[in-house]
Structure 1
Amino acid sequence: MFHQLYLYGGVCLALLLTGCDKKPEGQVAAVVNGDEITLQEINAEVGTVDIPEGVDKKVVQQAALQRILERRLLAQSAREEDLDKTPEYLIRSRQLDDSLLVQLLGKKAERTFKVPDQKAIDKYMSENSTMFAGRKIFAIDRIQFPFPADMEQLKSLEDDHSMEAVASKLNNLGIKFQRGPAQIDSAQLGQKRLDQIRALPDGEPFVIPEKGLVTVAVITGETAVSSEGKDMAPMAMQAMRNQELAKSLQERLKQAKAKGDIKYQPRFAPPADGKAKAGDTAAK
Structure 2
Amino acid sequence: MTRDGTARALGRHAVFAASALALLVAACSEKTGGRDAPKGQVVARLDGTDITLLEVNAELADAQIPPGMSRREAERAALQNIITRRQLMKVAKERKLHQNPQFKLQERRVSEQLLVQALARDIAAKVPDVTREEADRFIAENPQMFAERTIFSVDQIVFPRPPELEKLPLAEAKTMEAVEAVLNAAGIEFRRQPGQLDTLGANPAFVREISGILAKNPNELFMFPAPVLGGQVMIVNRVTGRRVVPFTGERARSAALQMLKNQRIQEALAAEVKKQQEAAKTLVTYQEGFAPPEKPEAPDEALTKAAGAAPDLPKPDVSGAPGSAPAGP
Per the normalisation by structure 2, the TM-score is 0.62
Query: Quick one: structure 1 residues 215 and 269, their matched pair in 2 at CA, closer, same or farther if it must change by over 3 Å?
Result: farther
The 5 A counterparts of 1:130-279 are: 130-153=144-167, 155-200=168-213, 201-210=217-226, 211=230, 212-227=232-247, 231-260=251-280, 261-264=283-286, 267=289, 269-272=291-294
Q: Residue 275 of structure 2 aligns to which amino acid in structure 1?
A: Q
2:41 is the counterpart of 1:41: no
8 Å Cα contact 2:151/2:244 also seen in 1: yes
| Structure 1 residue 271, shift from structure 2 partner | 4.4
Give the aligned length. Answer: 258
Whole-Å Cα distance in 2 between the matches of residues 24 and 161 of structure 1?
Answer: 72
What are the ranges of 5 or more consecutive residues in structure 2 without an aligned counterpart?
1-35, 303-327
What are the ranges of 5 or more consecutive residues in structure 1 without an aligned counterpart?
1-21
Q: Deviations over 1:183-224 (max 9, x none)?
A: 222134322112222233232221112512111112222233
| Structure 1 residue 146, shift from structure 2 partner | 2.0
RCO greater where, 1 or 2, for CA within 8 Å and sep 6 or more? 2
| Structure 1 residue 48, shift from structure 2 partner | 1.7
8 Å Cα contact 1:78/1:84 also seen in 2: no
Identity over aligned pairs, percent: 32
Whole-Å Cα distance in 2 between the matches of residues 141 and 83 of structure 1?
Answer: 52
8 Å Cα contact 2:127/2:268 also seen in 1: no
Higher helix share: 1
Whole-Å Cα distance in 2 between the matches of residues 75 and 138 of structure 1?
Answer: 53
Q: Secondary structure at the match of 2:251?
A: coil
Whole-Å Cα distance in 2 between the matches of residues 181 and 84 of structure 1?
Answer: 53
Cα RMSD for the two superposed structures:
4.0
Relative to structure 2, which stretch is displaced further, 114-123 or 74-83?
74-83
Per the normalisation by structure 1, the TM-score is 0.70
Q: Deviations over 1:157-198 (max 9, x none)?
A: 111111111111001001111211122221343221122222
Whole-Å Cα distance in 2 between the matches of residues 276 and 127 of structure 1?
Answer: 26
Q: Radius of gyration: which is bigger?
A: 1
